[in-house]
Chains A and B, each alone.
Chain A
Amino acid sequence: MPAVRTPLSRRPTRVRRRYHLRTPAYVYMLVTVLIAVGAFNSQNNLLFWAFGFALATLVVSGVLSGTMLMGLEVERRALGDTRAGHPLVLSYTVRNQNSLVPAFAMRIEEIEPARVWWRRAARVATPWTEHCDRPRVFVAHVGPGEAVSARVPVLAHRRGLVRFEGVRVISSFPFGLIRKTMEFPLAEEVVVTPRRAEPPARARDRLGRAGDAAIASRRQGPGDEFFSLREYVEGDSPRAIAWRASARRMETGASGTGLLVRQNASPAPARLWVVLRLNPGAAAAADDNERAIALATGLVEDAAEQGLSVGLAVPRAGVLLRPLAGRAAVLACARELGVLHLPDLRTSADDGRFPAAAAAPGALVVVVHAGPVDQTFGPGASGETVHVSSDEAAPTEGAPSAGGAA
C-alpha cells in the first residue's frame, strides 16, 4: 500500500517556547534566600551586594536567553531516502535573525512523537524514534545575522516511512539555571528502504538464466524480431527491403517507389514478477514478513543487475508495480517495500490471491513466502514460478538485522 502523505502546508507553523527551572536554579535560589537572610540579619553590606548580584544574575540570565532565542530559526531537511542499516543524512540550518544578540550553546533535538503539542495525523508513517538513532547536534554559537548548518548522519535501523515531527532547540545559556526550549514544527517524511537479504542459490541461478533470454519489446529497435513495415526512404539498406511485401503492394498499385522496408523490434529484457506473500495478523509472523521483504529486496536488486525487467506485487497490501528495468525498478520497488505497513495487511482470503497481472505468459515469477512455502499459490500453468521461503534468506554480511529482515 503506498504511503499516504499528509499535506505539509496544513501543519501548524507556530513556534512554541517553554521555560523551566533546572535543579541548580532551585539550589541557586535557596542560596540567594540564605544570602538575603544573612544580609538583613547581620547588615553585612557585602552580603547585600552579593544578594543584589545574585538577583541580578537571575534577571540577566532570563533576559539574555530570552532575547537570544527570540530571533532564532531552524530548518531541517532529510537529504534523500536511505536503506536500513545505512545512515540517513539530515541537514540542519540554524539562522539567527537577531541583529545584536548572538546565540550560544544550543542543543538541537528531534521532537519525540509522544511530545508533539500539535495535532498528530493518523498515518501510515511511523515516528522516527522507531527507525533511527537520535541525531545529536550542538550549536556552540551563531552570531547576529549569521546562519550555520551541518549535515548529521544518523543510523537508520528499520525500514518504513519515517516521520519527523519537528525540531526542538534547548539552551541553558548563560548560567545553566533556566532551560529554554523552542519547538519548531517541521514535519517531514523519509522512506527507509528495507535491508537486503541474499536470495537462495537456486533463485539466483534462475535469475541468471532469465537474464540471458531476451524478448521482443513493443518498440522499434536493433533486435532480430519483426516489428513493422514502412516505406522505403533513400538511404535504407537494400537488405532491409521486404521484397514480397513490396511486390504485394505494387500489385495493388500503390504510389511512390512501392518498396517497403522491414523494421525490427528492440530486444526487451525478460520480465520478472516478484510476488510477496505476506502473513497478516499474527504478531509472531512479523519476523517472517520482514525477512520476506528483505529477500524480495535482494531479488529485485539481483534481477535488475541481471538486466531483467522487474515488477512487484504484494497482494495483501494492494501493491502492484508493472515491470521496469534498471535502477528505476530498484528504486520503485525499494520504496514500495520500504513503506509497507504490516499492521494494515488485508486479511480476507480474496485479498491474498495471486495477482492477475503477474500471471501474464512469458514472465518469470518468483513468489516470496513469509514463512513456509505454499505451492498452491501461483499463476497456474501460464508461466514459470519459483517459490522461495523467507526462511531461506541469508542476511547480508555485516548488516545489522534489528527490526529488519533477517
Chain B
Amino acid sequence: MPLTALRTVSKPQNGVGAFILQCKRLDFHYCDWAGSSRGMNSFLKGTLPAFAKANPQIEITVSPRPTKHPVIRGHYINGREKAICVRKMDPNQILQKAELLRDASGEKLRREVRRPVKSLNESVRGIWSPFHAPIEEKRWKI
C-alpha cells in the first residue's frame, strides 16, 4: 500500500474551535506630577482592579512615564500595537478607551463597504463550467 501524505484539512483560525481574545496586553502609563494624568491616576486606583478582574485574558501592566501624558497601549496577537493618549480624561472616558482597546483586533482601520465576508475556504459549489453543466442550464452554445 503506497504511503500517502497527510493533507491539511483545515487551517487553524481563531474562533473556530477555541477563541482567543486578540488583545493580549494592555500597558497603562501614568505620571505622578503632571495634571493631565489626574484622571488616569484615579482610574488606576479605582476602576482598573475591576477591569482587570473582568478581563482575565489580558495581561495588564502599570508603569510610570514621568513628565509625559498618560497613555494606554494595547498589544495584539497579530503583533501590532495600538496606543491611545488619555490626557485630561475622566476615569469613565479612560474606561471606554480601555474597552475599545480590548475589543479591537489590532488591524489598521479600513473602510470596507462592499465585501462584508472574508473567506479562506474555496468555493463550496465550485466554479460553473459550460462543459459540465446539464443541457438545460447551458446558456452559451459552444
Q: Is B truly associated with A?
A: no
**A interface residues (Cβ-Cβ under 8 A, vs B):** none
| B residues with CB within 8 A of A | none
